[in-house]
Amino acid sequence: MDLVKFKRGLARVDLEKRLSDLLEEKVKSLPDFNLLKLNPELILLVCNLVEEGGGEKKLNIDKKELVLKVLDNIFKYSEIEKRQIDDQIEFLHSTKKIKRVKFIIKIVHYVLDWIQRRFL
């Protein structure tokens, strides 16, 4: 099934669907996640996860809309709460709090994981 790759619009839709499923699973795995409805740390976590998994720039994924959609699917926000979340995302973006994981850290984790699988 993975032999044929999606292209253009289908690739974008597929990536958005996979990301939203993973994000919902990650958020729902947190203990008492319902209490974190407007928590700025949760919003930052979801934004960073979308930034990291956002894929190639040529797919033109609207990351902010994806974050809003995922959070709304989990918590069912009112219009006022949606505006608050939108403002928080804008603040996080303008203060450069939303970041990707550095490449060197990815390499270190990959090597440590390989060492553990190989020798332990």
Share of the chain above pLDDT 90, in %: 49
Per-residue confidence band for 118, with pLDDT thresholds at 50, 70 and 90: confident
Mean pLDDT of the chain: 88
Please report the pLDDT score of residue 101 as a whole number: 82
Mean pLDDT for the stretch of residues 107-116: 89
- CA 113/CA 16 separation, integer angstroms: 28
Interval 81-100: pLDDT, tens: 999 999 999 999 999 999 88
- CA 65/CA 90 separation, integer angstroms: 12
CA of 43: how far to CAs of 7, 39, 56, 110, in Å?
A: 30, 7, 22, 27
- φ/ψ of 98, rounded to 5, equals -85, 115
Q: Do 81 and 38 form a contact (C-beta atoms < 8 A)?
A: yes
Interval 1-12: pLDDT, tens: 566 777 777 888
Per-residue confidence band for 102, with pLDDT thresholds at 50, 70 and 90: confident
